[in-house]
């Protein structure tokens, strides 16, 4: 239960990411990600100042963390540029399904039962309905040519695989007694943020940010691109990766509902059905064992 509460905390923060992103859509994506990740890393600095050894880790661990945070956002943002955003977002939300079905390949002693597969598929179907049902609220479309859509979906799939791999690797390291300290996520975010800012400098036009922009960036950095990663890390180290993966389908539901509330859109039947399916999947998955 404690692990699930940590996961729900991360999910609640990630649900705000789309709304914050819409409010900051005029900010180039790599600049947005870079600033937010660097700000998010500040949460770890008090712990590191007390004990600098918390940022001492194997090179492979640092590479895993940086590759994940940078690679996940890099592939997703490029995909969003060359393919319709709603569909790219949907493909990207295959990562909870990947966590569930790939868990036995990563984690010793973990078996995949039929109920886990059914819960994961039910959750993904609900997530698809939530995202597609909130299409008008998202009000975004890809700007690239039609021939680029396939590549955009492939990049989103790669982004999903990267996050699922990181989540399962984190759990496997914890089971093997090689878990990295939570404060290490601050280093992952700092290095990934600096790489994103480098991409901004090389690939994107310079822009000026208002005081409101900086406030929203601080909220994004300290929330969905900061505290959420630390909560997710705690959840994975303490809980069942299969159950946490199924709970993660609450993220697109919460994100879509929040966008509809912010934009003043009416509640639709598809969102209601999606909510029922996702909650049912979460209950089924958490009671599977």
How far is the C-alpha of 4 from the C-alpha of 289, rounded, in Å? 14
Which residue did the predictor score with more confidence, 63 or 182?
A: 63
> What per-residue confidence (pLDDT) applies to 144?
46
How far is the C-alpha of 170 from the C-alpha of 9, rounded, in Å? 18
pLDDT band for position 197 (50/70/90)?
A: very high
* Count: domains in the chain: 1
> What per-residue confidence (pLDDT) applies to 140?
44
Which residue did the predictor score with more confidence, 224 or 266?
A: 224
How far is the C-alpha of 256 from the C-alpha of 132, rounded, in Å? 9
For 96-123, how does the pLDDT look when each residue is reduced to its tens digit (9 = 90+)?
888 888 888 888 887 777 887 888 788 7
DSSP string, the chain: -HHHHHHHHHHHHHHTHHHHHHHTTTS-HHHHHHHHHHHHHGGGHHHHHH-GGGG---HHHHHHHHHHHHHHHHHHHHHHHHS-HHHHHHHHTTHHHHHHHHHHHHSTT----HHHHHHHHHHHHHHHHHHHHTHHHH-----S-GGGHHHHHHHHHHHHHHHHHHHHHHHHHHHTT-PPPTTHHHHHHHHHHHHHHHHHHHHS------HHHHHHHHHHHHIIIIIHHHHHHHHHHHS-HHHHHHHTTHHHHHHHHHHHHHHTPPP-HHHHHHHHHHHHHHHHHHT--
Domain of 17 in residue numbering reads as 2-286
Closest CA to 76 of 16, 154, 131: 154
How far is the C-alpha of 127 from the C-alpha of 207, rounded, in Å? 35
Mean pLDDT (whole number) for 196-204: 92
At how many degrees (to 10) do helices 250-263 and 269-286 cross?
150
Does the structure show a pLDDT above 90 at 6? yes
For 42-51, how does the pLDDT look when each residue is reduced to its tens digit (9 = 90+)?
999 888 888 8
Does the structure show a pLDDT above 80 at 38? yes
Total-model pTM:
0.81
Closest CA to 164 of 254, 97, 104: 97
For 233-265, how does the pLDDT look when each residue is reduced to its tens digit (9 = 90+)?
999 888 888 788 888 878 877 877 776 777 666
pLDDT band for position 69 (50/70/90)?
A: very high
Question: Per residue in 174-184, is it b (16+ CB within 10 Å) or e — as a string?
Answer: bbeeebbbbbb
How far is the C-alpha of 91 from the C-alpha of 17, rounded, in Å? 17
At how many degrees (to 10) do helices 114-133 and 269-286 cross?
160
For 126-138, how does the pLDDT look when each residue is reduced to its tens digit (9 = 90+)?
777 766 665 544 4
How far is the C-alpha of 26 from the C-alpha of 3, rounded, in Å? 36
How far is the C-alpha of 86 from the C-alpha of 45, rounded, in Å? 36
Whether 144 and 82 have beta carbons less than 8 Å apart is answered as yes
How far is the C-alpha of 167 from the C-alpha of 163, rounded, in Å? 6
For 123-171, how does the pLDDT look when each residue is reduced to its tens digit (9 = 90+)?
788 777 766 665 544 444 444 444 456 788 888 889 989 999 999 999 8
């Amino acid at each position: 239960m404690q692990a699930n509460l940590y996961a729900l905390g991360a999910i609640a923060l990630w649900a705000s990411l789309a709304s914050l992103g819409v409010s900051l859509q005029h900010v180039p994506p790599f600049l947005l990600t870079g600033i937010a990740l660097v700000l998010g890393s500040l949460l770890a600095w008090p712990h590191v100042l007390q004990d600098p050894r918390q940022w001492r880790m194997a090179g492979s661990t640092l590479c895993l963390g940086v590759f994940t945070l940078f690679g996940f956002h890099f592939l997703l943002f490029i995909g969003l540029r060359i393919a319709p955003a709603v569909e790219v977002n949907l493909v990207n939300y295959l990562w909870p399904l990947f966590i569930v079905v790939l868990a036995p390949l990563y984690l010793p002693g973990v078996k995949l039962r039929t109920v886990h597969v059914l819960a994961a598929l039910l959750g993904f179907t609900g997530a698809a309905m939530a995202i597609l049902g909130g299409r008008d609220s998202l009000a975004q479309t890809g700007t690239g040519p039609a021939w680029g859509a396939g590549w955009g979906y492939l990049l989103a799939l790669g982004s999903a695989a990267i996050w699922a791999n990181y989540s399962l690797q984190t759990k496997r390291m914890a089971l093997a007694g090689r878990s990295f300290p939570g404060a290490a996520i601050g280093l992952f975010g700092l290095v990934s943020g600096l790489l994103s800012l480098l991409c901004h400098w090389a690939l994107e036009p310079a822009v000026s940010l208002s005081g409101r922009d900086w406030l929203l960036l601080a909220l994004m950095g300290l929330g969905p691109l900061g505290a959420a990663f630390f909560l997710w890390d705690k959840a994975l180290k303490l809980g069942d990766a299969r159950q946490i993966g199924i709970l993660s389908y609450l993220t697109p539901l919460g994100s879509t509902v929040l966008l509809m509330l912010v934009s003043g859109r009416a509640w639709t039947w598809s969102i209601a059905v999606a909510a029922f399916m996702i909650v049912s999947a979460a209950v089924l998955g958490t009671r599977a064992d």
